[in-house]
Amino acid sequence: MSLSLPPVGTRFGRLVFIGRAERASHWKFQCDCGSPVKETWHYNVRKGVVQSCGCLWRETVPGARKTHGMTQTKIYRLWSMMLDRCRNPNNKYYLDYGGRGIVVCERWQSFEGFYQDMGNRPPGKTLERLDNDGPYAPWNCEWASRKVQGRNKRSNKLLTHNGKTQSLSAWAEELGLNYNTLSTRVNRGWSDERVLTTPIRKVSVAWRAS
């Protein structure tokens, strides 16, 4: 069922709804500052991730116009790459990020805002979104190990058993079962319950004395 549109003129922060955009699930807005019409995924405005055309963060983020002297640091490059894969259609990862509606919140459009919230990257950690369909924002991001991040990829099948939902690799580790065996069961269309509770048969080899 498609999401119903708000009445024309409905306000979301500084943005005023003016209609549906051509891109699926995107709406068109006019910003109070008078900038050209902005199109964005409806999720972002309904959740308050996007509240203007970008003018708001320039006015409210402390130090947004100041030189921070960190352009050569690893954390700055990480921030820059985050922005690029969400905004640049020529980025090889764009289709998995900006192309499917993943955005960077207005506060994090400024490196200063991002750095104030996240600080330096801890050793061995990567920037992880808790909701893989949600934005890069303070409430949706944490520093996670590569192992945890790998489990949260969209391609990692989630299974539910006894009210607990986690990735296939996490179940394999918790139950002490072979990941490839479980994956084969999933591909055969088995139910989550059957995938996780069916014992794995041990193959015995009988040796005949010559």
pLDDT in tens, 32-44: 888 888 888 787 7
Neighbours of 93 (CB within 10 A): 13
Q: How far is CA 171 from the centre of its chain?
A: 22
Which band of pLDDT confidence, cut at 50, 70 and 90, is reported for residue 59? low
- Rounded to 5, what percent of the chain is helix, strand, coil? 35, 20, 45
pLDDT at 107 over 80: yes
Q: Which residue has the tokens 């409905």?
A: 10
pLDDT at 209 over 80: no
Ranges of H-type helices in 61-166: 74-87, 111-118, 146-151
E strand or H helix at 171? helix 168-175
Rounded CA-CA distance 132/155 in Å is 11
Rounded CA-CA distance 118/142 in Å is 8
When the pLDDT of each residue in the chain is averaged and rounded to a whole number, the result is: 79
Which band of pLDDT confidence, cut at 50, 70 and 90, is reported for residue 78? very high
